[in-house]
Structure 1
Amino acid sequence: MSLRSSRRLRAAALSVATGLTVAGLAVAGGGATAAPADPVSTPVPLSTPDGVVSAYLLNAAKANPGQTRLVERAVRAAGGVVVQTWPQIGVVVAHSDRAAFRDDVRRLAGHALESVGATRSVPVTEGTPDGLPAPWGPGKGQVRKGAAVDRSEDSTGAEATLATTPDPRESEQWDLAMIKADRAHEITDGSRDVVVGVLDSGIDPDHPDLVANIDVEDSVNCTDAGRPDTSPTGWAPTTSDHGTHVAGTIGAARNGTGIVGVAPGVRMASVKVVNDDGFIYPEYAVCGFVWAGQHGMDVTNNSYYVDPFQFYCEDQPDQYAAKEAVRRAVEWSTDQGVVHAAAAGNSSYDLANKTTDATSPDDGTTVERTINNACQDIPTELDGVVTVSSLERFPAGTLENRLSGFSNRGLGVIDVAAPGSRILSTVVKDNGYGLKSGTSMASPHVAGVLALMKSVHPDWTPAQMVAKLRAQADDHACVVATAGAPCVGTDAENSYYGDGVVDALDAVQ
């Protein structure tokens, strides 16, 4: 189920049909001529030495309980521990301290196993969850020490600047005016029946602009090795206020205090997928997406890329298995009625023309590697996910805009654009307000618009919502950005803005 451009659909279909990663096929007369193949990505082996606990994702050949149970048995027989199972998508999360675990589990599972891969380049930091038998005994969880690292999609150096006055600050929210959210609010602030899952670092549970709109019952912490932790404080932020800032943009309450979100009348569930070191591992994201589908959420916001790879390459077994598990989770939750918005990323990268990556794996020793267009930033490049680029005010003091210099771009990859530079929103410190920049700040504007749309059109499917979102976006001229990277395409659809600037007013009319 793809909601991308037809160009990407055709390329993907040809790759699947041939079993090759190719740039495309030209068919003429009675024969086929293959275009030059994309370069094979540089191998990045993930070390899993004996005696060190490593984490794995295993994908059953079929997403049904029977096949999944066969994979679970193989995990145990191979010397691993089943940490979490998602039979609805045929995914198993496992830990093992045996170097041969991947090979052994492939042999033991046989045709029941589609793929298996390690999910990180470092030992498990959180330990194996309590209550599970561990063949290696206690104490080998190898908690990594050091300062927290923020791997989410807000631009580096964009620290929060605290508000100096408790007075309402809507007049400073140029971003809402730019996407016409202020005018949409004359029609609706959104419905309490609509729930947005904020897959992030947690939401401040007592911020005066957020507390009334937090859906505590559906909030969860997914960083306990990818298992749902529903403890009362598990979903609250610990080392980062990123999720709190994102939440404020989506749904800060209209209460005469501070700011107002794009959809101030909807509810938000805190789905914590960022651990205390700042990483979003694949099993955390799988947990978050499946949880959103299980709990009937309407929208999710995803202002991050899944660690430890900025791009997951399908010609690498570990990366393929992790990507496939996340893809299944996204597809299943979409089938349950959840629509997803995601940040495009902050590397000033052309996502339609990938060549190299010097940032992965980001949890250990990075490798400068060759990549190809089959290597994807997930979840933002997965089918059905709305990919959002970032805008900045230009000229200053107006509602005109251009692509933020840090924003990723890509013809046929970017769906819509939204404000993402110097966005005022909620922060944890002193229950205050601050400015942050990044595609992390752009994506929640789109999630908020989707929440408004769902409020007015409760029967619309995710596919209908994404189609309408793109059709209603305001076309933006294909112009040269500050960084000088060329804009490709037309004013109607281009590499900077996709189908245009998201329009909240059209979404509710």
Structure 2
Amino acid sequence: MSRTSRPRRLSAGLAAATLALTSLSAATAYAAPLDNPTPGPLMNYVINTKASPGHVRKVEDAVKQAGGTVLSSYREFGVVVAQSTNANFKVDVRAGHNGREVQSVGATRTAAVSEGASGLSSAASVNSVGSVDETTATPVLDPRESEQWDMVQIKADQAHTVTDGSRRVLVGINDSGVDDTHPDLAPNFDARDSVSCVKNGVPDQTPGIWRPTTSPHGTHVAGTVAAARNGVGIVGVAPGVRIASVKVVNDDGFIYPEYSICGIVWAAEHHMDVTNHSYFIDPFQFWCKDNGDQGAVQEAVRRAYAWAADRGTLSVAAAGNSNYDLANKTTDTTSPNDSTPVSRTIDNNCLDMPTELPGVITVASTTQARAKSSFSNFGLNKIDVAAPGSSILSTLPGGGYGLMSGTSMASPHVTGIAALLKSTHPWWGPRDLEQALQREADDTACPTTPDARCTGTTANNAFYGEGIADALDAVHR
């Protein structure tokens, strides 16, 4: 999509009544702020602490004492997101008695916050899609289904003779927004569970806030996952499941860490079985495990995705479009992309997030000829599976259809297969789905013309991982 296309650039009120997670904590009476904090630009930060309400409350107090505002507190995994104009916030938040609870703190971006100071829109009640029941297979072609070579490659067309997926399965499209008025998406859209996270990572359910404003990317991704079988346009990999929009891409095409954390927590809290992440978290293409900002952010994001997996949400992500060997990192010349990029030396402790996080399914892209797409990232034991991503026909805002290319387009194919797997095995958790996706993928050998980058074996290599994803084998299990 341009920025949300970096082509993954073309390449979310947490409402649980039990509330171990809280958004926007109230001020604590005994937390006295600094008298004269040093003025600076408005910035957002993540602060990591021990995962318990007591420790998080103390960090919230430390934030206020340092002249900051708490945006969100995630008590079950020990992360606080805060905002401040105190230029010395990272030092001051560690000062005093409560600062001893801070394990690490880091700014989430290198440029000042563009969306302004914190604030919540009032949540509104909206209706979800119809009743939850099992969708039976009705393999009648939609008008443009014959143009979907990608569905043939992953055998989704054959899988649909078995099942189109279950209405019990909910998929999160964590992206730039979904046009829920599109005739191929409206039948499967769940507005009640949709949200926007692009105002400082604070969930907003204002009706329609989850729709796209500047980018068609999320709508295109949504169609690949679950365009309805309704006699209109195309058919998605899992046309019988429900989808929700979790908007994590702002109008400038950026996905900051607090957006992504908000989105994955929202998805888990709202019982989304699978989520698709066709993006990398800005402003660093690779977040390095250091003692500064990047290390703190890497840890906060890792905790959020691990917590969501423990809650039953599988994350599927695009591998990236830089034709880069994720298993042998050496340099990064594109980061930070919200200010001035610099050339830096990196290693494998630097992660492309969320795709390289533990438990996240990393998807590379293939062409119609089953070759690695020229843009697709790769890497031995980094890629889990591959799927079609070059010139993919799918839905566009305003009721249209169009072609897009990128690992952004490959990832939703695998997300759709995961949704079919969950439909046929509703008792399976994320780890079961992950293993099945890898096991059922079609082994794909390295190119016959030798390519030194494609290391490994036919069963598992740098270009295709465990192979090209297979929807038919998935539903036959």
TM-score clears 0.5: yes
Paired residue for 2:185, among 206, 210, 223?
Answer: 210
Aligned match of 1:324? 299
Q: Quick one: which amino acid aligns to residue 458 of structure 1? A: P
Moved beyond 4 Å, runs of 4+: none
**Match for 1:203: what amino acid?**
V
1:393 is paired with a residue whose SS is coil
CA contact (8 A) 1:405 1:481 kept: no
Alignment partner of 1:94 is 2:82: yes
In 1, Cα distance between the equivalents of 2:83 and 2:38? 13
Equivalence for 1:410? 379
What code does the residue aligned with 1:127 have? Answer: G
User: TM-score under structure 2 normalisation?
Assistant: 0.86
- Matched with 2:103 is 114
Larger deviation, residues 191-200 vs 91-100:
91-100
Q: Per-residue CA shift, 1:197-256, capped at 9, x if unaligned?
A: 010000002000001111111001011100000110211111101000000000000000
Counterpart pick for 2:421 among 446, 453, 456: 453
Are 1:105 and 2:93 an aligned pair?
Answer: yes
Identity among equivalent pairs (%): 60
Give the SS at the match of 1:224: coil
Normalising by the residue count of structure 1, what TM-score does the alignment of the two structures yield?
0.81
Residue of structure 1 equivalent to 2:173: 198
Is 1:224 aligned to residue 199 of structure 2?
yes
1:348–1:408 Cα contact (<8 Å) kept: yes
Distance 1:343 1:331 in 2: 18
Q: Which residue of 2 aligns with 1:56?
A: 45
1:27-63 Cα shifts (integer Å, max 9, x gaps): xxxxxxxxxxxxxxxxxxxxx9833101111111x11
Instruction: Quote the offset at 1:486 in angstroms.
Output: 2.1
Give me the CA root mean square deviation.
1.6
Matched residue, 2:435: 467
- After TM superposition, give the deviation of residue 123 of structure 1 in Å: 0.5
Partner SS for 1:171:
helix
1:338 equivalenced with 2:313 (yes/no): yes
Tell me which residue corresponds to 2:139: none
Of the candidates 423, 428, 437, which is equivalent to residue 405 of structure 2? 437
Match among 375, 387, 396 for residue 427 of structure 1:
396
Q: What does residue range 193-272 of structure 1 map to in structure 2 within 5 Å?
A: 193-272=168-247
Q: Is the 8 A contact 1:402 1:481 kept in 2?
A: no
Map of 2:69 onto structure 1: 81
Q: Aligned partners of 2:79 and 2:117: how far apart in 1?
A: 18
SS at match of 2:276: strand
Given residue 194 of structure 1, which amino acid in structure 2 is its aligned partner?
A: V
Instruction: Measure, in 1, the Cα distance between the counterparts of 2:239 and 2:444.
Output: 27
Give the paired residue count: 419
Cα pair 2:153 2:368 within 8 Å, conserved: no
Structure 1 residue 362 corresponds to structure 2 residue 350: no
Instruction: Give the letter aligned to residue 452 of structure 1.
Output: L
Say yes or no: does 1:125 pair with 2:114. Answer: yes
Quote how far apart the aligned CAs of 1:84 are.
Answer: 1.4
Letter in structure 1 aligned against 2:465: G
What does the per-residue CA deviation read over 1:340-367, in whole Å, with 9 as the maximum and x for residues that have no partner? 1100000000000000000000111001
Alpha-carbon distance between aligned partners in 1 of 2:297 and 2:100, rounded to the nearest angstrom: 19
Amino acid at match of 1:491: T
Conservation of the 8 A alpha-carbon contact between 1:404 and 1:481 = no
Task: State how far apart, in whole Å, the 1-side matches of 2:205 and 2:366 are.
Answer: 36
Q: For 2:45, what is the secondary structure of its paired residue?
A: strand
> 342-351 or 463-472: which moved more?
463-472
CA distance in 1, matches of 2:404, 2:203: 29
